[in-house]
Amino acid sequence: MTLPMLAAFAGAIFILFFTPGPGNVAMVARTLDAGPVHGFIYGAGIITGDIFWLTVAVTGLTALAGSLGPSVWIIKVLGAAILIWFAYKAFRSFANPETPERIRGTSTRLGYAATWLAGVAMPLTNPKPIVFYLSFLPAFFDLSRVGLSDWLAMVAIMLAMYGITATVHVGLAHRARGWLKAKGVKRWADAITGVVMLVVAMVLLIR
């Protein structure tokens, strides 16, 4: 695996991660709802699922994508339930708006774990990425010759691209969150956040 190959892979992953999709939208919505830490943790869940599918593709375990069976639905329901809970809290905040001084996220270990699990559920419940990686990776690498060091290099690139993507999305959302609080319009942002969370939950369940 050569440096130009890794550079091309990095560029493709960068474009892929920045392409608008439910994951990025939900990461922004989670930031608006609970703050930047939750936004980064949600994104960390997404990249965890993506690395799982990358590993499946690299190791040739394509049968796994079709053999998850009922466990896929368990993960889907769990992820959707967490997102619906987030939506409920956002709608409740819309109905009973707090003052800016009292607005803060669920900064507890349980809250962080729920956010991470919701992020993991986004790619993990969708076997389509295995098809994508199986068709995408051969354009850059000979999968039959990918070793541990090559896999580690690809994971490192994905983590770096996640860091850049999450920093941009979460950073801009956090700035908007501060503006919303300062302008006293967070109530309506909560309503939009609730709708986004519900839509993403439905995407998880029906795709």
**pLDDT tens digits along 163-181:** 998 999 898 888 877 666 6
Q: How many CB atoms lie within 10 A of CB 139?
A: 10
**pLDDT tens digits along 47-87:** 998 898 888 878 865 555 555 555 556 656 766 776 777 67
> Tokens 């703050």 correspond to what residue?
35
The one-letter amino acid code at 174 reads H
Cα–Cα distance list, 181 to 7, 10, 33, 74 (Å)? 41, 37, 11, 37
pLDDT for residue 207: 60
Q: How many CB atoms lie within 10 A of CB 25?
A: 16
CA pair distance 11, 173, nearest whole angstrom = 24
pLDDT for residue 99: 46
Contact (CB, 8 A) for 133 and 62: no
pLDDT for residue 121: 84
CA pair distance 1, 85, nearest whole angstrom = 44
